Amino acid sequence: MTVILAFLLMGPAASAASLFLKKSIAEGFSIKRLIVSPHLYFGGMLYVLSALLNLYLLKHLPYSIVVPLGSLTYIWTLWIAYKFLGEAITRQKIAGIILILGGVSLMAISI
C-alpha cells in the first residue's frame, strides 16, 4: 500500500515543485528577491520530497518500471500548467499524453 501511495504522490509533488519554482522568479529574477521568496523554499521541499519518494520506489520496484512510470509526471505538469498558468492544451499535447499513457499501460502489463 505504501508503494502505491508513494507512486501517487511522486508525480504531483515534482510537478507542483516546478510550479512553485516558476512562481519564485515570476516577478523578475534577482538574487535578493529569490532568497526571500517562500515559493523557492516550498518548491525545493517538494522536489526533495519527490526525490525521496522516487528513491523509496526504486528500493521496492525494478528500475525498468519506476523510471518509465515517472513519465506520468508530464501529465500532472500539463494539468498544472493549464489550471494555474493558463497554458493551452493543444492537439499535440493531447497526442503526447495518449502516447505516455499507452507506454505506461504496456509497462504495467509487463509487471
Predicted confidence at residue 41, as pLDDT, reads: 95
Residue 86 C-alpha cell reads as 493558463
Instruction: Give me the DSSP letters along 56-75.
Output: HHHHHS-HHHHHHHGGGHHH
Predicted confidence at residue 1, as pLDDT, reads: 63
pTM (2 d.p.): 0.84
Model confidence at 81: pLDDT above 80: yes
Pick 29 or 6 by higher pLDDT: 6
Q: How confident is the model at residue 108 (pLDDT cuts 50, 70, 90)?
A: confident
- Alpha carbon distance 11, 101 (integer Å): 14
- 13-70, pLDDT tens digit by residue? 999 999 999 999 887 778 888 888 999 999 999 999 999 999 999 999 988 888 888 8
Predicted confidence at residue 14, as pLDDT, reads: 95
Length of the chain in residues, anyone? 111
- Alpha carbon distance 87, 35 (integer Å): 27
Please report where in the chains the cell 525498468 appears, as a residue. Answer: 64
Pick 55 or 111 by higher pLDDT: 55
